[in-house]
Structure 1
């Protein structure tokens, strides 16, 4: 077992990424988030999709940024700041560029067809560029863009901590005392409650998206600090039981609010205030709970986590393409929404598995062997 590798963090990242297909497919039917194609359904059928949407929607991106900060600590320990910046640019910004100009237009095209438009894909592209690119941007690749910006913004701070580890130790040791680790979590929860109602309609373009910027940047930095101190980690892991209880209570209220918003014409302002107040508390509690349980039961090397860790980035990159295509295809049929949902997710998982296994693993490996002959 790699002594420096924390498999619980791998499992947390993998869990989030593998549920993206379920989450984004659910949005088609719940309409409580951003996706390409929607279907109106009866209020009696929407509850299942709310039960799938609400638990993920309110914590999973925060978890990804937390794990990214955790991983940044080990990445910077092995690299100079220049090597770290170069590696981040290659790993993050090249996929963002590829998606913006190649992948997102295809997904928007299926939305275009679903809305009744006619014409070939190439005819569509003539109208998509340049106006559409500003409307749809980088799609779900906003996470990679934000992560790159956060990495560059935090690099001077992280370098300072790398050069003077005693300064980082002072912070982590303070957080490890008593219940001091709750201080940054309380800040995150309060910041989300205050900022979220004011910045509800962000387009994930960084500037003006202050609720998400403050929230995710805080989790990113907190993940870096957390990775540096085993005593702090153990303190947090020991809170897994209270954390899951708090998260469950928050989630029950959040689902109720989601159901009211999905089934009623009028949504009072206090719904937004209550939801934003609970969201920050829920995501902090869920991350603490899952980190604790995964560390307790899954912090060991296995074939499953070895494979899924390597495959997870492919799943993240490609998942929205089959979801959008299958949604466009399946919604042509007058089938029950539960059946449509099931077909979409089965074929989407199968598509990504085949892409990863046949193209990324075997074809690219074969090409590399030919290149190095």
Structure 2
């Protein structure tokens, strides 16, 4: 089983949250942005949606896989009580705080931009992801602890044996195919607060845990075959967004999604499993940035969209300013104020120590 810190998983989590930020900014320039509560540009960039569509089938399931892996590592030095307390501090507290204090900000910015009456009702918005994780941990922690107690049990040995050939990792595919066949989502990439989102997130979270529970045999096979998984995923993705989109079933998208995920994990394991100062900083800042990025995005869009610039420049400027704004808020406020740190999933530190970071 994996016990050492996995820097590649930390890197991939940071990259995935960065892609999420870019993805949400791209929505601002799509004709349907208003339908899902985003500020919309009058000048559209529908061409942006082609690359975003390649990302969309795997970006959220990928984060659930990573979250499952994170729970595995959190369990290595904690008993049941300590794990539940730790995850409550890290996930439940920011989730509830976000609904009360963060989500209202981008709701109000949206209403102000469109001169609507200002009002707010409790809503998780983009923080729905955290609510899902709370549910998954509550359901799965007894099973996970049983696995941890038997590191060399029959179940793990069977999984390890399965991972000795390139088809081993693909054993997850039938579960994700079955999910879409049973749930029958109207849109595969519609994850937020849908039955499909709960179900696919549950599977990804569960298998993410198993991926690190199995140990090196799983990662060695990914290391050897990740280019094949990525080539197949890219081929399917290009066919989907070019000529066969109308014929691509949810089952095919489930296959494509997991091929991307397996390939990316293999790529990360090969090239990113090393520490760095940049990773230490970005890994700490990624979670708070995820929590605050929507209201920063809406604030930036409210200003940038009124400028007389080429729409592609507006998009680039929105990305730059949203990222810069999030980093400044993290660096100057969240990171420095001890009482705020736990509200954003960070460890509490006294003011003196916070200033030394």
TM range (shorter): 0.7 to 0.9
Distance 1:14 1:35, change over 3 A: farther
Q: CA RMSD in A?
A: 2.7
Partner of 2:175: 187
Structure number with higher helix proportion: 1
1:197 is matched with which residue? 185
Map Cα deviations across residues 103-159 of structure 1 (whole Å, 9 max, x no partner).
1111011211222326xxxxx2xx42xxx33xxx11111111111110111011101
2:296 paired residue number: 322
Aligned to 2:40, the other structure's residue is in SS state coil
Alignment partners' CA distance in 1, 2:273 and 2:17: 18
Distance 1:101 1:3, change over 3 A: closer
Equivalent residue, structure 1, for 2:327? 353
Equivalence for 1:233: 219
> Cα–Cα, structure 1 residues 321 and 167, in superposed 2: closer, same or farther, change >3 Å?
farther
Q: 2:263 aligns with which of 289, 297, 315?
A: 289
Q: In 2, Cα distance between the equivalents of 1:23 and 1:62?
A: 15
Q: Structure 2: which 5+ residue stretches go unaligned?
A: 339-347
**Closer, same or farther: CA 46–370 of 1 in aligned 2, 3 Å:** closer
SS at structure 1 position matched to 2:88: helix
Give the match for residue 126 of structure 2. 140
Deviation at 1:295, TM superposition (A): 1.1
Could you tell me which of 232, 253, 257 is aligned with 1:246?
232
In the alignment, the residues of structure 2 paired with residue 147 and residue 226 of structure 1 have an alpha-carbon distance, to the nearest angstrom, of 17
Q: Residues 362, 201 of structure 1: CA spacing in aligned structure 2 closer, same or farther, 3 A cutoff?
A: closer
Query: Per the alignment, in what secondary structure is the counterpart of residue 106 of structure 1?
Result: helix
Specify whether residues 171 and 28 from structure 1 end up closer, same or farther in structure 2 by C-alpha distance, changes over 3 A only: farther
Deviation readout 1:5-45 (Å, 9 max, x if unpaired): 11111111011011222110001112467452123545xx4
Q: Cα distance 1:56–1:203, how it changes in 2: closer, same or farther (>3 A)? A: closer
TM superposition shift of 1:52: 4.0
Relative to structure 1, the CA distance from residue 203 to residue 169 in structure 2 (aligned partners, 3 Å threshold; closer, same or farther) is closer
Distance 1:201 1:13, change over 3 A: closer
Structure 1 contact 23–52 (Cα < 8 Å) conserved: no
**Deviation at residue 330 of structure 1 after TM alignment:** 2.1
Residue 22 of structure 2 is aligned to residue 39 of structure 1: no
Deviation at 1:287, TM superposition (A): 1.3
Q: Which residue matches 1:101?
A: 100
Q: 1:227 deviation in Å?
A: 0.4
- The partner residue of 1:221 within 206, 215, 220 is 206
Which residue is equivalent to 1:175?
162
| Alignment-derived partner of residue 265 in structure 1 | none
Residue 72 of structure 1 is matched in structure 2 by 71
Structure 1 SS opposite 2:27: helix
1:275 CA displacement: 5.0
TM-score under structure 1 length normalisation: 0.82
Aligned mates of 1:160, 1:203 — CA distance in 2 = 30
* Contact 1:199/1:211 (<8 A) preserved: no
Q: How many residues align?
A: 339
Describe the superposition over 1:221-276 as per-residue Cα deviations: whole angstroms up to 9, x where unpaired.
Answer: 1111110221122112322111111111122133337xx9xxxxxxxxx83x6252
Distance 1:370 1:340, change over 3 A: closer
